[in-house]
Structure formats: structure tokens, C-alpha cells
Chains A and B, each alone.
Chain A
């Protein structure tokens, strides 16, 4: 076989002048240099509310409707964005998918349909209150909705689909509903991020299984990871991402079955559990 080198000279590339020209974007020094204390999220002032699928939506009207009232009431004073989680049908999808030997990327792709259903369900309930379903690719239209007094509602699952990173024998996606809303709070630079679940915050163990579990009112992401609790009410990936966050430096977990907790959390009261990026 004859070797034919077409171009060995670097200058045969046609390049656009920029400080990143010819960089691999992998060099650690170059990457660190792109950090900026002045960088900001793109929609500051937003309050992001993540409604749990299994914990809230699957309980139906009795759990959902009181929260609708709180959200509608807060709309006049807050810029709200609602995310809908998955729940029972996600677990069923995972079970069937795993039993068929489907890879994690396929599971992530399939699970996103369940969140989309729940987002549509909520958008239909909120429609008479100017709730509007927002698709992932419409992200930059959120300001328009807020300015016109609408309540944007999105499916919480991040759009990783078949690109879900490898998980080894964990088999199920690490980047799911909770992470999706965390990243939205991070990229928007939201004022607050509230996870509405069905317990009064974070406990030392799953309070549904262990009656002796105690509530932790406040903890840092690092401490929480170091504690290696047997169970977490949020995806592990959220706690890891929070410890690396630039803009969303805290999140709150509250009990949506006590709707007043949402009212108080939106008012800035210390309810539920506050997980911070830094040690308190």
C-alpha cells in the first residue's frame, strides 16, 4: 500500500480567528481560563418548581389541585416555571425495558414520554389559569410567557435520550427528572428551586420505611454525599451537580401534601430541607 499524505501542514486548515482557534478545548489550563465570576444565568428571578411524579402527580386530584391553587395565587408576585416528573409509569417502563435488555440510552429515551404526558396533564389543568406547555426547544421563549403572565410547564426529563452517559450495572439513567429541573435552575440562574415531594424534606433514611428517620433541615451537598445515606429523596446526580454549580447554589425539598409548605417556600420561609452548594 502506498502512503499518500494529503496535508501534513497545520496551515492547510481554513480557520476562523478566535482565542480558541486550534485549541483542543481539552487543555486544563485553557478550560479553567474560561471561568468567569461575572457569568450569570440567562433568566434570573425565576422560581422553578419541580412537581414529583411518584410523590405528587400519581396521587391525583387530591394532591394536585391544592398545589394548583398555590401556584395560581403566587403567579402575580412570582415568575414561575413548573416541571413535571414521571412516576409510576416511569418505573413500569424501566421494568419492561430492563426485562427486554434495553440499554440505558433507550430507557432514557422511553422514559421521557412519561414526563411529557405528565406535563400535558398539568398544562391541561393549568390551561384556564394561563398555564402553557413548553417544549424543550422553546426554552428561549420562556421570558415571553412570563411577561404575558403565563405559567410555563415543561417535562422535567432532560433531553439526553440515547446519549445518556454509561452507567455500568446501575442500568437506569442517572440524569432524570430531578436533574433536568436542576439544570434548568442552573442555566437560568433561578432565584429558587423547589422540589415538591411527599415528605417534609430530607431524612436520615426513607421515612416511609423507617419511622425513626429524622428530618435534616439544612445540609451542604458535600456533607450529604459524604454521609452516604441509604436513601435520597432526590437523584444523586443533582447533589453532585449542585456541588459544582455556578448559579443555582441551593435547592429546597418540601412536602406538597401540605400545600402551605409551597406557599411558605415561595415566600422565602425556611421549610422542608435546604441543600446548599457550600457548607452552611
Chain B
């Protein structure tokens, strides 16, 4: 029975099939919102599904000068990392499938593993656009990772545990941490946009400068897997921030509402700014982002000592 439940968890819910479906829904909502902010109609509901089906049906071209095993294997590694990290988050407002002490660190590591494999995939080729894209991806990873981690640490310290399940229970019963740690929320939200490479932090895949960045050489199945991975990353990122800052996710209705509102805000921030150059991104994060996160942590520690 236990093996059957494990299989169901891995393949149907909350991993696997359910995650694939819900990621296409979230991608569609994101694209439709951005389109409406730009005063356009936007894609129809089946557009992300159609994109993925089309990509899977196309031929995958392996370019010259790459290591074929890495080229084919890295998208699978990225997707596997992301799917695994979903098992520890309260997906759809229900209890996480697996939970153990310290799984917050594991989830963050798995999310970074996805970005790392993206960078490695770009460095794997001899194409100049991919190399520059890979450099930018890794540079951006080094810059936002520390403040993002610190911002997610704030609620963990207040909840007194590093297990996402228990943090969820804590935030569900106490005052929303959004109100008590607004600076941390800001850093976490902007950090999420940097992690997902959404505009204005989309220098690693700047369309007008380096074609498609690290993904330039990918086509067909590899590109489909990377795209699915990015969509799932969006869902997981929103889930994490809603769990930590927006008062926990106790049932599916709250899940949909809270992540929905957060998506509206994220889509709005996407359409508001011009793209930042990579050196401006690094400067912004290491100067303002890190300082804000440190200030927030300091405030938490001081207040805990005082109160």
C-alpha cells in the first residue's frame, strides 16, 4: 500500500501529471495577464499545451561540438529536480507528500539545480550566443541566490523550524508574515522574478541580444522539457512565497486565491520595466538586495531578543 501511495504521489499527485497540468494553467494565466496589461487579447486557453505538444513532435537536432550525453540528459535532470522539489511543498493546499526536517534547504537546492543545469546546457555548446547566455545565467544565479535565501529564512526563523510542512502550519495560525516582515516579502518577490528569469531580469535570455541565451541550440524534446521545468518552477515559487508570507495554504481554495493574486502582481511587475543589463542586475542585487535582506534578518533577531 505504501508503495502504491508513493507511486501515486510521484506520478499523479502532487508530482507528475497534476503538476504538468497545473503548470500549463499557470503559464496561460501569466501570458494572458501580461497581454492584458499590454492592451492585447492574449493567447487562448490551450496555447501552452499546444506549444508543448508541438515541441515534443518536432525533430531534435544535436549540433556539432557538444557532448551528446550531456545535451540530451541535462533537460531531463532539470525536469527531475523540479518535479522532486514539488513533493515537499504544500501543493494545491494539501499536505506535502514527503516531509522531513530541513527540507526547505533541499527544496532550495533543487530549484538551484535547475538553473545550474540550464547554465551547463548553455556552456555545453560552441555557439557563442549560448556561451554568453550561460555566463549570464550563472552570474545571475550568484547574485540573487543569497538575498532570496535570506528572505526565505526570515519566516523560518520566526517559525522555529526548517521543515516546510511545519512552517505552513505556523503561518496558517499566526499573523501574516507579509505584515510583520514587509522588506523580506519584497526581496523574496523580486528574487522570485530573478530566479524565473522574468523581465526585467531576463538578461540571460535576452531575445534581442543573444537570441535565446542558453537555450539557443535546443529544439524539440529538450526545449519542451526545459519549458515545462520553467513553468513548474513558476508554480513552486509562487507556492513557497504564499506559504511563507501570505499566511500559509490550508486548503485548495486558499491556494488558488493566494497564488492567483501573487501571479497578478508578478505579471504586473513583468510589464512595467525595461530589461536590466547583467551588470546592472548584479549591482542591484549585491547592493540593495543583500542589504535589505540582511537588515530584515537583523530586525528579526533583535526583536526576538528584545521581546
- A and B together in one complex: no
B residues in contact (CB < 8 Å) with A:
none
